[in-house]
Structure 1
Amino acid sequence: MLPAIFTVALAFVGVSFGAPASLSKRLPGRVVQASTTAVIDPVGVYIRATWAKDGSLIAGYAATDGTQHVLRTARSTDGGLTWAHQGEVYRADKTTHDIDNAFPLQIPGGRILYAYRNHDRPNGSQYTYYRITISYSDDNGATFKYLSTVAQRAASGVNGLWEPFLRVANDGSLQCYYSGENAANDQDGYMRQSLDGGKTWSSPITVSGAGVTSRDGMIGVAKIDNKGNLMAVFENTESGFFSIDYVRSHDDGKSWGERGRLYTAANGGQAIAPQITNVAGTLVASFMTDESIGDTGADGGQMKVITSTDGGKSWGSSVVTGNVASHWPGLFTRDSTHFLALYSKNGLGAVSQVYELEN
């Protein structure tokens, strides 16, 4: 079952974006390539996507423009096959600020929220203040204004805030997940809730990392069903190397537990930067890894996905959805049989590619 927000959006769109058969290339397992690679922005990184109220797709991502970091949006009217530059969310001088980790989300009513890290580093390297910020757009992502700060704190040792992830709960509340450092070797996952569309935020609950010394990070969350069962995935170092773990919630994100291992890279490699989405009942989890290409480091390795048709109890073999020199992948459920692989690729920039789940 698709998450409710996707079901509404797909009903609004009312069309299928399946690619011509000539573009299809069968890959191992259930995942089938259904489009060529589409460039979103030649200098874009860390891409995430959402619906707009007119049925188009809005991609959020970071870029560099001269001496400035910029958070941008791009728009697709054909389901991610092509993209056009749309607007900007925020820009700042990169010698004094660090802005990145874009995450756009359309909420009920059509407003688009855009979460991102928003840090001060006056000398160009040393951080002095950390924030997770929310901006909003009421014109389908063309222009944005500041809305709120989800979490913030002054820098003190290693205590950064990173990688926001937004979702709407079944009761209509908004949840923002993010990572918070405790020390160089320890980071936890947190969630704060908003009951007013992101204007104000609750105190945090711990999603992962309590009682564990590990760099838990890059949280992604997906519905398992429409009964409040969720799965969150995240990278971790509890075994001394990066692998992918998960936790579950049975109350729509209010509490979390049942920590377990989702994926361990083969051949002494590492797996990092996971995300997860639900495609009409099939869970699709992504990550990047160097397990098949030698000890090059996971960042710049391959984007791979694995799928589960039993609520995450078991997973199939991995399938490559982004070739070597891919970075910081994301996922987006486009319709009941297709998802977008979103990543940055050396020589291309921010890209998307459509994949189909076989029947």
Structure 2
Amino acid sequence: MPGHLGQKVLNALTGGHSNHPPGQNLPGRGLINEDERPLSSPPNRGTYPRLARLSDGSILSSFTQFPENQRALCVARSTDNGRTFELLSEVTRAAGDVDNMFLLEAAPGVVLAAFRNHDIGPDGPSHFRITVCRSMDSGRTWKFASQAAEKKPPFGIWEPFMRLGRRGEVQLTYSQEFAHNNQCTMLIVSQDQGSTWTQPTCLHGNNDPLRDGMNGIAKTIDNGREALVMAFETTRYGPFNIEALISYDDGATWQKRHEVFRPKHGHNAGSPQIASFADGSLVVAFMTDEDSSQVEWVKHAAIKVVFAGPPHNGQIQWSAPSVVSPASSFWPGVMALDHHTALVTYDRGGPLAKTVTWQPR
């Protein structure tokens, strides 16, 4: 939905709220710390890094490597709050298209790994899957648990994200194409730690000509009311930009769609992930090529973050962006480390991370 029509629809949804100009009266400020560290030791090549905190205090990192004409989904572990990581295990490897791995501890010591797992034929993907594997020993060994979602071509499924709902159920969201210009965020739920799943439901925009994708969700609070904020990429202006939705019912329904970040005209901002701090303030990490004279997405992208205070009556005011990692960097993730610090992950010749700090006023 490019051009002026897209902006009119967005203004109608949000009351004109936009990231331009960015908010100047945030209840704090975000700082980028120059403390880059690898997410594995030795610092192997790898991409699509993500993090998961376990109940024993350790942190698992996950990333995709490319050994011997295959893809391997790898896990490393930190016992010093994310300062150093040691390679721990391999979830799976395959000659097909395995990637987009996301980890979640479903119960103490029970870790799920969800990832895309597509068969590739001579004309491209021949079968699409979101596969879930399970570890009963905090990520050391893995077994197949279920095919959480699967379908035949022509349209695909990608980019799983997982969180625990209020009742301990696993909520898995992923992106599903319905047409070349229509992709939606889907929800499936498991009550048995990933063995079985509900039928998928579309969370928002099933009839919109927009490619919503690569979602992440963080818990926050809106004037004392529990809330979730979902960040995702979309195609409102042709290239990718970042938008968000808010849920007040633990992720069942979503509303208050609004703009988080829009790059310079003709450029892209995509692949967002979101985390929250102790006071409910938010940080969104994403990749953007807006500083490059060349637009060849996803090349020439830098990793940036924007910050916001908690929602206020469904309104969120986002900061101007700050650079975390220069071009070319890819596929960021983010996870809160403590009350005021988050660890932003990315691929720049291998899986790396850097902390950002939120300073409330």
TM-score, normalization by structure 1 = 0.86
Amino acid at match of 1:286: A
Q: Residue 327 in 1 paired to residue 330 in 2?
A: yes
Equivalent position SS for 2:66: strand
Question: Which residue in 1 is equivalent to 2:21?
Answer: none
**Distance change (3 Å), C-alpha of 1:298 and 1:309:** farther
Report if the CA contact (8 A) 2:39-2:61 is conserved. Answer: no
Q: Residue 232 in 1 paired to residue 235 in 2?
A: no
Q: Residue 291 in 1 paired to residue 290 in 2?
A: yes
**Distance change (3 Å), C-alpha of 1:356 and 1:69:** same
Query: Whole-Å Cα distance in 1 between the matches of residues 289 and 238 of structure 2?
Result: 16
Report if the CA contact (8 A) 2:77-2:85 is conserved. Answer: yes
Amino acid at match of 1:47: P
Question: Which residue in 1 is equivalent to 2:23?
Answer: none
Report if the CA contact (8 A) 1:276-1:285 is conserved. Answer: yes
Report if the CA contact (8 A) 2:47-2:346 is conserved. Answer: yes
Cα drift, residue 255 of structure 1: 1.2
Deviation per residue, 1:21-60 (Å, 9 max, x gap): xxxxxxx952230523325342210011112343211011
- Aligned-residue Cα RMSD (Å) equals 1.8
Deviation per residue, 1:37-94 (Å, 9 max, x gap): 325342210011112343211011111001111101011122222111111001112x
Alignment length (residue pairs): 324
**Distance change (3 Å), C-alpha of 1:220 and 1:104:** same
Report if the CA contact (8 A) 2:182-2:206 is conserved. Answer: no
Query: Whole-Å Cα distance in 2 between the matches of residues 328 and 56 of structure 1?
Result: 23
Cα drift, residue 304 of structure 1: 0.6
Question: Which residue in 1 is equivalent to 2:113?
Answer: 114
Query: Whole-Å Cα distance in 1 between the matches of residues 64 and 219 of structure 2?
Result: 27
**Distance change (3 Å), C-alpha of 1:121 and 1:304:** same
Query: Whole-Å Cα distance in 2 between the matches of residues 258 and 316 of structure 1?
Result: 18
In the alignment, structure 2 segments of 5+ residues that lack a partner are 1-27
Question: Which residue in 2 is equivalent to 1:350?
Answer: 351
Question: Which residue in 2 is equivalent to 1:305?
Answer: 305
Q: Residue 139 in 1 paired to residue 137 in 2?
A: yes
Deviation per residue, 1:304-346 (Å, 9 max, x gap): 111111326101111111111100101111111111111100x
Segments of 4+ moved more than 6 angstroms = none
Question: Which residue in 2 is equivalent to 1:318?
Answer: 321
Q: Residue 189 in 1 paired to residue 196 in 2?
A: no
Query: Whole-Å Cα distance in 1 between the matches of residues 196 and 276 of structure 2?
Result: 28
Query: Whole-Å Cα distance in 1 between the matches of residues 88 and 254 of structure 2?
Result: 37
Identity of aligned residues (%): 33
Query: Whole-Å Cα distance in 2 between the matches of residues 310 and 258 of structure 1?
Result: 14
Cα drift, residue 112 of structure 1: 0.7
Query: Whole-Å Cα distance in 2 between the matches of residues 282 and 266 of structure 1?
Result: 26
Residue correspondence of structure 1 range 181-260 to structure 2 within 5 A: 181-225=177-221, 227-260=225-258
Query: Whole-Å Cα distance in 1 between the matches of residues 321 and 34 of structure 2?
Result: 17
Query: Whole-Å Cα distance in 2 between the matches of residues 253 and 344 of structure 1?
Result: 29
Report if the CA contact (8 A) 1:288-1:298 is conserved. Answer: no
Query: Whole-Å Cα distance in 1 between the matches of residues 331 and 257 of structure 2?
Result: 23
Query: Whole-Å Cα distance in 2 between the matches of residues 220 and 245 of structure 1?
Result: 11
Pick one of 88, 98, 106 that aligns with 1:86: 88
Query: Whole-Å Cα distance in 2 between the matches of residues 39 and 133 of structure 1?
Result: 24
- Indicate the larger mover: 98-107 or 218-227: 218-227
Question: Which residue in 2 is equivalent to 1:36?
Answer: 36
Report if the CA contact (8 A) 1:269-1:294 is conserved. Answer: no
Cα drift, residue 212 of structure 1: 0.6
Task: Flag the structure with more relative contact order, 1 or 2, with Cα contacts below 8 A and sequence separation at least 6.
Answer: 2
Q: Residue 104 in 1 paired to residue 103 in 2?
A: yes
Query: Whole-Å Cα distance in 1 between the matches of residues 94 and 253 of structure 2?
Result: 36
TM-score, normalization by structure 2 = 0.85
Deviation per residue, 1:246-293 (Å, 9 max, x gap): 122110011122322221112542101011111112111111101123
Deviation per residue, 1:211-239 (Å, 9 max, x gap): 21111110111112284411111111122
Residue correspondence of structure 1 range 148-187 to structure 2 within 5 A: 148-155=146-153, 157=154, 159-187=155-183
Pick one of 68, 79, 91 that aligns with 1:77: 79
